[in-house]
Amino acid sequence: MNALLIYPEFPDTFWSFRHALKFIGKKSAFPPLGLLTISSMLPKAWNRRLVDMNVRPLTTADLKWADVVFASAMYVQKESLKEVISLCKAEGKKIVMGGPYASMGLNDAIQADHVFVGEVETTFPGFLDDLAHGGAKAVYQASERPALSLTPIPDFALAELEQYSDMSVQYSRGCPFNCEFCDIIEIYGRVPRTKSNQQILAELDALVRVGWRGEVFIVDDNFIGNKKNVRTLIPELAEWSARNHYPFAFTTEASVNLADDDELLEQMRTAGFRQVFIGIETPVTESLKEAQKGQNTRRDLIDSVRHVQSYGMEVLGGFIVGFDNDPDDIYERQINFIRESAIPVAMVGLLAAIPDTQLWRRLEREGRLMGVEEHSGSNTDCVLNFVPKMDADRLIEGYKSIIRNIYSPGEYYQRSLDSLGRVAREGAPRIGGGGLKKEDIFAFARIVFALGVRDRSRGEFWSFMRQVVSQHRDKIDDGLMFAALGYHFRKLTEAYLCS
């Protein structure tokens, strides 16, 4: 059997990092971890081919080669997914669909032959048996959430590794918190399950074997959701990193209570963690309570961010506007918080009602839903799929004003400088042994030419770089990274949000 694994294309959004990736000669940030895991679950005798449409186009030759097609998608990829399904149907190919989009209660809208709802570790073997005997069902849904001990090492070698800036691994699923807008707890539950330490280290060994060095994103939606298990993992991860001469710089996502645990923060620094994404959402306490995000109300959020930064980790932040309890000055308050917290990469979004979330169900009861297809899953389209309490036009214009402000060159570069000053790297290991590589020199040249010669904001760029060199000489590579990311955000802001 020939199995074609297809990952649909992402639109150009803040999360695509497309304009920044060009500087380092990459086409996509991350490979499709779910499909690489599915590849490892297929029978050994099957042939496999991955087409990540963010890296290369899907061709008719790919489809003709395939006996069966597997696709996985997030909500934001739905338009590309529909095209993939249409092409497969035109070629008479069976298509099997899974991933977050398939688990959002939208199964009737997915025209695949076979749809997997939720996690597949316990259902996929049965599907393969059914397929072999000609009796595969239309929908497969696990009766319970599986133990992650069943999850195999992803087939990393199937991906075109040179096309990606980061590799991905997953340690846990689920989150103990109860945020109203979140779909993670609906799909994966509120009792976080983890892989064993041996499993995750074996995955990292596999990445080393295929030749990967550099950035590794631990994709858990809350890495510290099961703190008891994380406490046993991190010392072993630190030992593994030292034994392997620190091949990876780790990034992950965590709840803000990470700031409460100095021992864990120190161990994460020692293991090679360099970035953490934290869902801040809003500085407005009443809006946090509305969102059932109580873990963010029991602290000074600015102090928490600064504490994490003090352990050598850049903080990336998630922010939301559009809560019922947002005050009239929410836009200024968000801008001020982002400025004071020195979070360069601040992902600000309009509140969206994701199907099958608590927010979705509440708004449905209140008669405020406008339909799932009204929303693309991207911030930059500025479309609401519910009726907000605030005037909708004012909400959208206020959102645009935040983005225009925080990604203007002056604001962005100052936050980046502040972040470089607060992220303390003393005591952190040197990842990869240090030293310039050929690709680093090429990236430096591309960034300098694009931002320092061609860009109309080149004056701000050179002012920023002079301050990086004079104040943070040991972080010049971080400064260049911030400059590249800022260019990406500014390009999207100018293209979509400045009208």
Q: Are 409 and 460 in contact (CB under 8 A)?
A: yes
* pTM, two decimal places: 0.95
Q: Are 403 and 491 in contact (CB under 8 A)?
A: no
CATH no. for 165-422: 3.80.30.20
How far is it, in rounded angstroms, from Cα 259 to Cα 394? 35
Name the DSSP class of 154: P
Count of Cβ atoms closer than 10 Å to residue 332 Cβ: 14
pLDDT at 182: 95
User: Is 71 exposed, middle or buried, given 0-12, 13-18 or 19+ CB atoms closer than 10 A?
Assistant: buried
Residue 95 has φ and ψ, to the nearest 5°, of: -125, 130
Count of Cβ atoms closer than 10 Å to residue 167 Cβ: 25
pLDDT at 434: 61
For the chain, which residues score pLDDT lower than 70? 105-109, 371-377, 379, 433-436, 498-499
Locate all alpha helices (DSSP H) within 244-391, ordered by sequence.
262-271, 285-290, 301-309, 330-341, 358-365
CA separation, residue 255 to residues 177, 224, 241, 320, 405 (Å): 9, 7, 24, 15, 26
Name the DSSP class of 165: S
pLDDT tens digits along 145-159: 999 999 999 999 999
Q: Which fold has domain 2-141?
A: Rossmann fold (3.40.50)
How far is it, in rounded angstroms, from Cα 107 to Cα 61? 29
Give the Cα-Cα-Cα angle 58, 118, 2 (nearest 5 degrees).
35
